Structures are given as structure tokens and as C-alpha cells.
Amino acid sequence: MTDPTWWRQAAVYQIYPRSFSDSNGDGIGDLKGITAKVPYLQALGIDAVWLSPFYPSALADGGYDVDDYRNVDPKLGTLADFDEMTAALHAAGIKLIADIVPNHSSNRHEWFKEALASPKGSAARARYIFRDGKGENGELPPADWTSVFGGPAWERTTEADGTPGQWYMHIFAKEQPDLNWDNPEVREDFLTTLKFWSDRGVDGFRIDVAHALSKDLSEPLPMTAELGVEGQLLDGSHPFWDRDEVHGIYAEWRKLFNQYTPPRTAVAEAWVHASRRARYASPDGLGQAFNFDLLQADFDAGQFRTIITKNLAEAQATGASSTWVFSNHDVVRHATRYGLPSAAEAGNIKPGLGQDGKAWLLAGGKPGEVDVELGLARARAATALLLALPGSAYLYNGEELGLQEAGEIPESERQDPAFFRNPGVDIGRDGCRVPLPWTAEGTSFGFGDGGAHLPQPEWFAEYAASAQNGVDGSTLEFYRRALELRHELQSAETQEWVTSPADVLHFTRPGGWQSVTNFSSEPVDLPAGTVVLSSAPLVGGKLPANTTAWLV
């Protein structure tokens, strides 16, 4: 029987399905492509896959605009393909976590179409957030709020007779209308969705923007100047970010999750103040919440030490398990971040313009803009440190290949709404979503037979899985070994710091497992013990700069 606490220290591998593996040569990764790669995932040594949205979608936001929550995008396959993939993962001992997007549907969802076709004040409109505009003829938005992707957070509708109508709220793209979570029908329908996938064998859920569902939109709506900033408020007073009532929703979900054996797990994507994160991770709620603190830090011993200490103390106090992550589909790959020109930019997780105004990602992390070698060395060191910590490790597809951000995507081929809504400011997140290189040669580097939906740069060849398979010292073999060892060495969720120089982080785990990371620019001595893993070769028995070693 499955251990019901399997998720507490799992290594979870995020698959961005449209960019993972394409089975039918249409340039888009699909579910059959994932099934075909199950042996690869098994050899990698992960415990679970987190699958980003695979539902029918016009891809206005990479699939986070869902047309139908209980189906598979025909471009990605069928429900039968989903069942086949789930069975193959389970047979390989890998759990499946599905991404669920409850804050907003797409504008192509049946409900939204019905809302647009229905009159003001109708039950169909009450599933979303519709308001009259301000101004003499309702020509101004109900509030001046901006969407996360830039531009207004309200869009005006057109009535059936062609006249301008009400406005609807969208925190993200205009193709992503926010649902009204005060509406019991919305709540009930999501329970149906969670049950639908749980019954199909999904082991857990990743909850998209978990901190935005509950809203207090009582009039008069405050203006932007009166609002706090996302992720920084301590009192739940923002009209839509991190309100206390949101936990009532997750308490309902938890009841459903606990009806399954083992209980379904959940992890919140909640960009909230660290002190409010535990509420999402409570055992009566979702159980786990992403901790993005390390992801936002520089490659710096002091910052890492403070964040790790604080998060482990918090986890211990609340009984939650910690979560660690460096890369995902929303941020610049960490092998590139850590190679950015200045320390000040290393924490810059958003693709965009450098401090000197140079578009460092437009230069593709090359040439000269990003120190690719340094970035990769630090990324490997950071990953080994992360995998030695108590709690869950979330990995993003392609990081096991040491993949760099692909910055040189022509504007005409970009897809991310963040790019289109912020001209000249934000180049968007496409650079970490480019289809993976499986082979050094061949059409689309083995991704599929028919090209790739985002262009792959030539330098992807050197990162191909086939070029690293069985190669001593390759990033892929390093990840495999680290994950294998982690399985052997992982025990109680505790960690203790060992006194070390300020730019070295040394800690032990129960059973004598030690991890040492050298953040300095000079080699340092290693403690006593047998080295079982090193993110770079030792030099004269010493731990080089930007390297992590594990000892037992």
C-alpha cells in the first residue's frame, strides 16, 4: 500500500506537456509523447510528475486558459491517452500531480460564452465577475487595476446587438476571465472536477494562483493607489490577493481529498508573504505550498542560509513539509540566472531587460551576456544542495540537461501574453518553454518528427539527453546519481548546520549524510567522510568554487 506521506519528501518533476515530447510530428508535445518517455523518467529517479495544464485551450496563456476542465486538449491526445499515461507512470512507480486552474477559466469555456450571451444580472454572469463601467456611458473600467500581464484588469464586453456592454475582471490575460468563488455553483463544479481526476488515478493537484480565488469586491472598489502589493500584505486586506476566506475553499477540498486512499495531495502556488504561507500548507488545507524564496535569492551563502533556516523552522512549527524550487515554466532557468552579469541581477527571475538596458535574454544567454559555464556550475551546486534538504524538491523539465534559457526567439514566434501586453519591457516566459532536445541531431533534436512550436536554438544540440546519457560528469548523469542517492539517504525531515566559513554552507541530515556547498571563489577543505557525490570534480582533494559535495 502507498505510504500516505509519500509527498512530504518527494522529488517532483514538472512537465510542460506541449514542449516535452511530440509523438505525432505536429510540433506540439503530447500525452503519448510523455508515455513514451516513462522509461527516461524512471531512470531519472523522480517520485512524481507534475503535469502543467493539458486541457482544451486556445493557448492564450500556455494552457492556463482552460476551455473544459474535464477533458484533454485534442492537440495533446484523448482521455484514453491520459489513462494510458497515468497507468504507465504508476507502473513505473511514479505518481501524477495535475495542474488545476480554479481562479479563471478561458473565455472559450461554455460558461463564459453563456455569460456573454446572457443579460446583465443573469445567473450565467454571476459565475464570473461582471460590473458596469464608470463614466457617463460606462466607458471607463470599474477600477483602474492592472492585470499581472500588464494592461487593464477589466475588459468591456459587446452586447448581442453590437452596443458596448458590461466589463469583466481578469487578473491575467483578457482570455482568462476570473471566476466568482462566492457562487456555490462554481464551488460545486470544481469539486466535481477534482473528483473526476482523482477517480482517474491522479495522485495530487498543483493549484494555480491559489491565493486569488476569494475576492471582496464590495463597492466602492478601491483604486490601485490604495491597494497593497501582491505577496506583501500581512492582514488579508487586499481585495483579491491572499484573503483569509480562501482557506474555507481548501478546507472543502481537503474533505474530498481525504476520501481517497491514500489521500490526494495538493500544493499551492501562492506568492504570499512568507509568514502567511503556512496557512495554505496546513493539513486541513492543501498540505503543501511552494516556497519561492530560494528561487528569488542570489547565489549567495548568506541568503541561502537565512532562507533555509527560516523555512525549516516554519515547517517544523506548523507540521508542513518544506518545498524547494529553482526553476519552473514562469521563470528564467536557473542555469542562466546564475550566470547573469552581476550579482544584483542573479535574483532577477523575470525575463526582461538588464539593469544596463541590454536585453540579456534577447541575446539568448549568449554571447558574453551570460556566463554559461558559471551559471551551470552554480545551478548544479544549488541543485545538489536543494536535493539534500528535508522536504519536497520540485524540478523543471530540461534542468536535468543543464539547459539554458533560450533567449533568441524572434518576436514573430513568441507566444507568451506577458510579452504582448508589455511591449519593450517584458520579453515573456517562452525562453524556458522551448521543446526539449532529446538527440543532438535530427528534426527538432528528437522532440518530434515535425518541428517544434517554439524555435530551438542550434546550441540545444550540446544539451541533448542522448549526448549526456552514460557520459560521466554530464548534468544528466549527475541528476540521476543525486536522485538515486537521495532515495537511499533520505530519512527524517531534519537538518543541522555545521559551523563553517561564511561563504560555505555545511549541514548534516540524520544517518551521517552531509552536504557542503562552496559559494566562495576559492577551493575549500572538505570535512571528514567519504564523498559520494560532487557537482563538479574535486581539485587536489578540495571542493572547488561553486560546487556542492555530499559525504557520508
Partner that binds at residue 26, options ligand NOJ, Ca ion, none, CB closer than 5 to 8 Å by kind: Ca ion
Q: For residue 209, state whether it binds ligand NOJ (rule: CB under 6 A).
A: yes
What's the grid cell of residue 261?
Answer: 486512499
Q: Is the dihedral of CA 209, 215, 220, 226 positive or negative?
A: negative
| 242 included as an active-site residue | no
Q: How far is the CB of 72 from ligand NOJ (least distance, A)?
A: 18
**How many Cα atoms occupy the beta-carbon half-sphere of 234 within 13 Å?**
1
Nearer to ligand NOJ, 116 or 210 (CB): 210
* Selection from 195, 322, 184 nearest residue 264 by Cα: 195
Nearer to ligand NOJ, 330 or 400 (CB): 330
What residue type is 471 in one-letter code? V
Q: How far is the CB of 81 from Ca ion (least distance, A)?
A: 11
Q: What is the rounded distance in angstroms from the CA atom of residue 107 to the CA atom of residue 416?
A: 17
What residue type is 27 in one-letter code? G
Edge-to-edge strands, sheet with 164-169: 130-131, 164-169, 154-158
Nearer to ligand NOJ, 396 or 550 (CB): 396
Partner that binds at residue 330, options ligand NOJ, Ca ion, none, CB closer than 5 to 8 Å by kind: ligand NOJ
Partner that binds at residue 8, options ligand NOJ, Ca ion, none, CB closer than 5 to 8 Å by kind: none
Q: For residue 64, state whether it binds ligand NOJ (rule: CB under 6 A).
A: yes
Question: For residue 504, what are the β-bridge partners?
Answer: 518
Q: What is the rounded distance in angstroms from the CA atom of residue 463 to the CA atom of residue 218?
A: 52
What value does the CA radius of gyration of the chain take, rounded to a whole number of Å?
A: 23
Among 61, 242, 405, 430, binds ligand NOJ (CB under 6 A): 61
- Given the residues 30, 189, 269, 493, the one annotated as active site: 269
Q: How far is the CB of 212 from ligand NOJ (least distance, A)?
A: 9
Q: What is the rounded distance in angstroms from the CA atom of residue 141 to the CA atom of residue 134?
A: 6
Q: What is the rounded distance in angstroms from the CA atom of residue 404 to the CA atom of residue 135?
A: 49
Partner that binds at residue 172, options ligand NOJ, Ca ion, none, CB closer than 5 to 8 Å by kind: ligand NOJ
Kindly state the DSSP code that residue 63 receives in the 8-state scheme: T
Q: For residue 55, state whether it binds ligand NOJ (rule: CB under 6 A).
A: no
Q: How far is the CB of 161 from ligand NOJ (least distance, A)?
A: 33
Question: For residue 531, what are the β-bridge partners?
Answer: 551
Among 208, 293, 405, 426, binds ligand NOJ (CB under 6 A): 208
Site track 225-264 with ligand NOJ (rule: CB under 6 A), x = hit? ----------------------------------------
| 155 included as an active-site residue | no
Q: For residue 370, state whether it binds ligand NOJ (rule: CB under 6 A).
A: no
Please identify the residue of the shown chain whose CB is closest to the bound ligand NOJ: 64
Q: Name which of residues 17 to 36 contact Ca ion (CB under 5 A).
A: 22, 24, 26, 28, 30
SS3 state at 151: coil
Q: For residue 76, state whether it binds ligand NOJ (rule: CB under 6 A).
A: no
Q: How far is the CB of 371 from ligand NOJ (least distance, A)?
A: 28
Task: Compute how many residues bind ligand NOJ; rule: CB under 6 A.
Answer: 10
CA 277 to the chain's CA centroid: 16
Site track 312-351 with ligand NOJ (rule: CB under 6 A), x = hit? -----------------xx---------------------
Quick one: the chain helix, strand, coil %, rounded to 5? Answer: 30, 15, 55
Site track 90-119 with ligand NOJ (rule: CB under 6 A), x = hit? -----------x------------------
Q: How far is the CB of 63 from ligand NOJ (least distance, A)?
A: 8
Please identify the residue of the shown chain whose CB is closest to the bound Ca ion: 30
- Given the residues 73, 189, 208, 369, the one annotated as active site: 208
Long-range contacts from 165-168, C-beta under 8 angstroms, 24+ separation: 165/120, 166/120, 166/125, 166/130, 166/131, 166/132, 166/133, 166/138, 167/130, 167/131, 167/132, 167/133, 167/138, 167/141, 167/142, 168/115, 168/128, 168/129, 168/130, 168/131
**How many Cα atoms occupy the beta-carbon half-sphere of 304 within 13 Å?**
25
* Selection from 254, 286, 284 nearest residue 269 by Cα: 286
Residues contributing to the site for ligand NOJ (CB under 6 A): 61-62, 64, 101, 172, 208-209, 269, 329-330
Give catalytic residue positions: 208, 269
> Which residues here bind Ca ion, judged by CB under 5 A?
22, 24, 26, 28, 30
